Amino acid sequence: MVVVGSVSGTSFGLLRLIPVSAVSVALFLGACAKDQEINAFVDPTVPADQTYNEALANVDEGNFAQAQRKLTKLDRQHPFSSFAKKSGVLSTFLAYRSGDYPEAIAKGKRFVQLYPADREAPYALYLVGMSHYRQIVDVTRDQRSARNAFLTMKSLIERYPDSQYVEDAKRKMRIAKDQIAGQDMLVGRYYQERKEYLAAINRYRGVVEKFEDTRHVEEALARLTESYFALGLTSEAQTAAAVLGHNFPDSQWYKDSYALLEQGGLRPLENSGSWLSRASKLITG
């Protein structure tokens, strides 16, 4: 028999030497072996409560990896049982406790999506928020995790306002906001140093309007005074300084801004038509 064609040294013609029935048998045997492997893992004869309690025992022993395997087994064996639902939260916690934050986020989201009214749903969502929170990096890097932490904790507060996790969620939101605002300040200073004042003003304005309760507002107002003054927009510079003085009268930033205006024969003076005057009402200095 002639062998025709080959790829990477394997002859296509060799396949023609194998009867179709033999191929079918091989595929069937392979499928059977795979089914046996799955059935060995998924044994519905093991009660759901037994597997769950074994997982709890593993947790008590500190063997989180084994506990996670038991919970995965439980989810496959008894996907519609009450223990499978309970295992969803525990599995989320174990992933979070092990530092596998992407897995914890996925599991926590899945639980909340499936059981939004369950009493453990607030905790699952809190773990999702904490998983984002634990991945927050310094302000020189992408703040995606800070934004996700903020949004998740905000969702927790809105959806479960009576939850015991609300107060800590608020604290985490403030920290996340401060982190995001810090990056905007970093970028704003970069533009300002390059004398790209309009771009700098854009960043500082975002901090004042969106992150009015963070520690960065004080400096943002001072930087706005400097940037507007540099552009010759004296009314806006005076308003920025006036708002700064109203909210942070003892601030060194205010003293510096006041001195800067004095160099041009000006003093802080609020223009009620300015966006800064409107934003001043939101600032919690």
pLDDT of 28 above 60:
no
32-53 pLDDT, tens digit per residue, is: 444 444 444 445 568 888 888 8
* pLDDT at position 64: 87
Residues 243, 261, 212: CA angle, nearest 5 degrees = 25
pLDDT of 7 above 80:
no
229-282 pLDDT, tens digit per residue, is: 999 999 999 999 999 999 999 999 999 999 999 999 999 999 999 999 888 877
Buried (b) or exposed (e) across 129-165, using 16+ Cβ within 10 A?
Answer: bbbbbebbeebeeebebbbbbbebbeebbeebeebeb
pTM, full prediction: 0.77
* pLDDT at position 236: 97
| Position with higher pLDDT, 18 vs 195 | 195
pLDDT of 186 above 90:
yes
How many Cβ atoms are within 10 Å of 25's Cβ, its own excluded? 11
Q: How confident is the model at residue 86 (pLDDT cuts 50, 70, 90)?
A: confident
Nearest to 285 by CA among 247, 228, 250, 237: 247
